[in-house]
Amino acid sequence: MKAQFTRIAAVAVVGICSVAASFAEVYTKSDGTAYDGEVYKVLDGVVYLTVGDERVNASLSEFDASSQAAIGAWAEENPHKVDVYTKWDVQPSIKSSSMPKLPEQFLAEEFKGLVSVDLVLNEAGQVIHASIKKSTHLGLEVPSLEAAKTWIFEPAKVGGKSVRSKLRIPFKFVNTPPPPPVEEVPVS
């Protein structure tokens, strides 16, 4: 029994270490400077890292070959965080949109809710990633994501060129049910 528990504990520790390793790595620059942290975005060849409570950035070319390979692997797993602009010369504009439907559970009573959806658009203005930033009700999240993923935009532009972009769309839900029908009293 004790040996079985030891094996289970060892497997759990290995699993936890593997998960931790996938979130934090040591990235080393060619000059020997090492950053023990996480990549959170890559923009125009610049790598942005969270190291403890600090944020640092450096050109991808400043990292050694092993770190460049790790950053490249991260970029392949996180395409919605690579070369995505949040500041533009021309902001994205909506070409086509649909609104989420209020789920049945919220139709019977007076109701207000809000869901903020973060969108990442490609260079053609299509949604390539959508995630919930803030929500007042869990039941509103799926309809909001489904609706947001159908939107099409005129793409953002930087330097006259269409670019990937990130923006936030707020969906406000309001339901005011109709008043109950008034009974007509026959006049005699």
Phi, then psi, of 38 in degrees rounded to 5: -125, 140
Amino acid letter at 62? E
pLDDT tens digit sequence for 130-142? 999 999 999 999 9
Segment 110-114 shows an average pLDDT of 90
Distance between CA atoms of residues 154 and 121, nearest Å: 10
Q: Where in the chain is the domain with CATH 3.30.2420.10?
A: 93-175
Cα separation, 55 vs 49, in Å, equals: 6
Which DSSP category does 183 fall into?
P
Mean pLDDT of the chain: 87
Q: Which two tokens stand for residue 122?
A: 């490609």
Element (H, E) at 146: helix 141-148
Distant-in-sequence contacts of 176-183, Cβ < 8 A, 24+ apart: 176/110, 177/107, 177/108, 177/109, 177/110
Integer CA distances (angstroms), 66 to 63, 70, 72, in order:
8, 6, 10
Question: Above 80 in pLDDT, residue 18?
Answer: no
Pick the CATH number of 2-82 from 1.20.120.160, 2.30.30.700, 3.10.520.10, 2.40.50.140: 2.30.30.700
- C-alpha distance from residue 132 to each of 100, 116, 128, 136, 173 (Å): 14, 6, 14, 11, 15
161 is written with which tokens? 């060129």
154 pLDDT higher than 60? yes
Taking residues 74-90, what's their average pLDDT? 94
CB 153 within 8 A of CB 94: yes
- What's the Cα-to-Cα distance from 174 to each of 7, 55, 100, 109, 177, rounded to whole Å? 54, 39, 12, 10, 10
93-175 under CATH 3.30.2420.10, yes or no: yes
CATH 2.30.30.700 location in the chain: 2-82
Cα angle value 36/45/125 (rounded, 5°): 115
- Cα 42 from Cα 77, distance rounded (Å): 12
What's the pLDDT at 49?
A: 96
